[in-house]
Amino acid sequence: MAEGSMRAPGPGARAGVRPGRDDPLDAPLRPERPRSPAAGGADPASAEREVLAYLPPRLRPALAALLPAGPADARWLEVRLRAGGPVGLVTDSGDLWVGAGGPRRLPEDAEVCTPEDVDRAVQAVTQASVYAWEEELAQAFCTLPGGHRAGLAGRARRRAGRLCGQKAFTSVNVRLARAVPGAADGVARALAGCDPAVPASVLLFGPPGSGKTTVLRDLLRQWSAGRPDLGLPPRRVGLVDERSEVAACADGRPQFDLGPRTDVLDGWPKAEGMLALIRAMGPQVVACDELGGPGDAAATAEAGRCGVAVVATAHAASVADLLRRPSLRAVLRTGVFGLAVRLGSDRRVAEVAQLAPAARRALARPPGRPPEGSAGGAAGRAPAPERGGGPWAWG
């Protein structure tokens, strides 16, 4: 388990609250400390049982019939509820439609989710207090104990012209979090090709559902413990877990194995948390999920100036997409990241791009300033990713 964690005050602290036996929805009491598969849990459906408590009671029997009974059975990735639509499961073996007697091939044969089912799920996720979760609902998701994420879609609620939450919910999507030991092996092998004396900063990117958070979690575990077989020495790691999804802290303790040298700031904003870790915990590596917010670029640059490596994730389908997004381009312009890893389907490493010094200098130039020795042209424009040449070296 990780060395320790610090919890930020505020609404994020509610992520560890569980439904009780007196819950109006009669949801079962969850275990005091949820087990992850990496922690030695023998139940192959431990993650599925955790989220089952937050799903509508009427649908639980049909969903429980599809719980994996062994390692060869399909594991749940998402549970999708849409008012008036079929109940769906996304598994690591494909999509399933949920019927009263088992899986269905056609959506018209599946159990239909009613508006009341959606309301029940929303009430369970928000602990029957939608208004107490305004900040989370304005971002369209809530984090559940165990690191699971409940996405919620409904009508916008506004106050003084600003989005302050949601109402009239129509859809719920619960994404399951689980430890997958070995998920980051491909990234660890890429790191083995870098200078072992200096930790490399790594940006993991890919489309939604590509397993970025899962790979990040396992990479921190491997880096914290070290990989002697790959020549990767152990490092002191600091994690800023803004959404409580990576470590899934409960009662101040991470529920996922992040290695023996990892400290966690739980619920902290990324930019503030990165700087706090550097000041307080002396990490060699700082990590966070989903870069791209205000202040992230400045915090990343400061970490680099302090000699601390940064490991983070970002939403993008390609390196070119990274450069097109202004917020991520600002992060790349810091010159901190030396390795960009694109994840494909099922957490697989699709491509590894090493940002060579020439590309770092190009990204670091202020817009409008031409490269040294040039007569003009595409001033300040970052070089395009190339395969087999140019400042981007592809592995």
Alpha carbon distance 310, 104 (integer Å): 45
239 by DSSP, 3-state: which? strand
Ordered per-residue pLDDT tens for the chain, 395 residues: 555 555 554 444 444 444 433 343 344 333 333 344 444 446 889 999 999 999 999 999 999 999 999 888 999 999 999 999 999 999 988 999 999 989 999 999 999 999 999 999 999 999 998 888 888 899 899 989 889 999 999 999 999 999 999 999 999 999 999 999 999 999 999 998 887 777 899 999 999 889 999 999 999 999 999 999 999 999 999 999 998 899 998 778 899 999 999 999 999 999 999 999 999 999 999 999 999 888 999 999 999 999 999 999 999 988 788 888 888 988 988 999 989 999 987 778 888 887 755 555 455 444 455 544 444 443 333 344 433 333 343 33
**Of the CATH numbers 3.10.20.30, 3.40.640.10, 3.30.70.20, 3.40.50.300, which one belongs to the domain with range 185-370+378-394?**
3.40.50.300
Q: What is the DSSP letter of 96?
A: E
Alpha carbon distance 2, 213 (integer Å): 17
How far is Cα of residue 249 from the mean position of the Cα atoms in its chain? 14
Amino acid at residue number 312: A
Give start-end residues of each CATH 3.40.50.300 domain in the chain: 185-370+378-394
Token couple for 375: 């007569």
Alpha carbon distance 356, 239 (integer Å): 26
Alpha carbon distance 339, 353 (integer Å): 6
Mark out the alpha helices in the chain (DSSP H runs): 46-52, 60-64, 115-125, 134-138, 185-192, 212-225, 270-280, 296-305, 319-324, 326-333, 357-364
Q: What is the DSSP letter of 207?
A: S
Which CA distances in Å does 235 have to 7, 86, 189, 222, 260?
22, 47, 16, 9, 10
